[in-house]
A and B are shown apart, each in its own frame.
Chain A
Amino acid sequence: MASATSSTVDTTAGGGGVHLPDTARDLVKILVTGPFGVGKTTLIGSVSEIRPLHTEEQLTEASAQVDDLAGVRDKSTTTVAIDFGRISLPGGVVLYLFGTPGQERFRSLWDDIAHGALGALVLVDARRIDASFDVLGLVEESGLPYAVAFNTFPDAPRHHTPEQLRAALDLEPTTPMVTCDAREADSSIDSLLTLVQHLIDHRPAEHR
């Protein structure tokens, strides 16, 4: 559906393929999170039916209680691009994937995007596991159920056992942990399926 769109980022005119299919009924979202450069956008792009889009999000100083757009320009702001993609599934379900940076300084944005999400897929780079600690902290504090996927980089160390990786990330025994190749659609889908199965198996007690 998106294959006919232009190759530039600017799809302002008409936006071919971006508009929702008429069958869209239930819109759900999953966060794809992880440290910078871990492959979030790659994973989203491998499965999205539209070329991943992005929104420019304004981050303000934590102290600035911004409820007034008119004042924003006077405050210290930075902009971060949030990539997202979309998969229309049979039965009218449309799954959105939001590539959400996991650094502590993005917390307010994180909370905003996480609101109403089904869960989070946390991408980890085995070459720099400690870069994921911030992300896991944010996810756990938000209460969002999550699964961990190690994105396979060619030069990633292969001598770690799953037990060692679990221990390094301090994961609960019930938290799913898989490896994936974010460039491959089937592999990305498998890691999303792992998360969704986890959501089915570990619903809050009042929803069972």
Chain B
Amino acid sequence: MTGRRGGRPLVPAYLSTGGVARPSRAHLERLSVLTGSGEPAPADLPAAQAALLEELEHGSLTVVEAAALLRLPVSAVLVLAADLIDRDLVLARAPIPPARRFDPDLLKRVADGLRDLKHR
């Protein structure tokens, strides 16, 4: 749980966002699903944004997965993702609405799915 594994990130966290501190949209969270929109990336896209966009060429990722792959803090990826969303290069989708975590049908699907795993 402590210490840094796997060496240094390519871009220091505080530089990766170009000094922008807060994501421009508030609704992104750790498990928001990011998907590339398919729009061509402009040539002047900052390197960190371009790196995130490149990861999304291979498929959708949650914010935390993107953070792990890019070795950036979640807070930095939130800023990068919000910028890409503003440029219409990335689409974001919420994991589930918060109230649904008590949804008995959803919980039952989780339980059934876990039981299925045991019988494989």
Interface residues of A (CB under 8 A from B): 8-12, 14-15, 18-20, 22, 24, 26-29, 36, 40, 47, 53-58, 67-70, 72-73, 79-84, 87, 89-91, 93, 95-96, 99, 101, 112-113, 115-118, 185-186, 189-190, 192-193, 196-197, 199-200, 203-204, 207-208
Residues of A within 8 A of B30 (CB): 29, 112-113
Cβ of B64 under 8 Å from chain A: yes
Q: How far is the CB of A95 from chain B (nearest CB, A)?
A: 6
Q: Determine if B13 and A69 form an interchain contact, defined as CB atoms under 8 angstroms apart.
A: yes
Cβ of B82 under 8 Å from chain A: no
Q: Determine if A186 and B73 form an interchain contact, defined as CB atoms under 8 angstroms apart.
A: no
Q: A56-B73, A69-B76, A81-B3 are in contact. Are A28 and B106 (CB under 8 A)?
A: yes
Residues of A within 8 A of B74 (CB): 55, 57
Partner of B58, one of A19, A80, A83, A204: A19
Residues of A within 8 A of B22 (CB): 67-68
- What are 30 A-to-B residue pairs whose CB atoms are below 8 Å? A10-B6, A10-B71, A12-B69, A14-B58, A18-B69, A20-B62, A22-B59, A26-B96, A27-B62, A28-B101, A28-B106, A36-B1, A54-B5, A58-B13, A67-B22, A70-B19, A80-B2, A90-B109, A90-B112, A90-B113, A95-B114, A96-B31, A115-B29, A116-B31, A116-B96, A190-B118, A196-B107, A196-B110, A196-B111, A207-B102
Which chain A residue shows the least CB distance to B106? A26
Residues of B within 8 A of A81 (CB): 1-5
Interface residues of B (CB under 8 A from A): 1-7, 9, 12-14, 17, 19-22, 29-31, 33, 55, 58-62, 64-65, 67-76, 79, 95-96, 98-104, 106-118
Q: Determine if A89 and B104 form an interchain contact, defined as CB atoms under 8 angstroms apart.
A: no
Partner of B106, one of A10, A53, A93, A204: A93
Which chain A residue shows the least CB distance to B22? A67
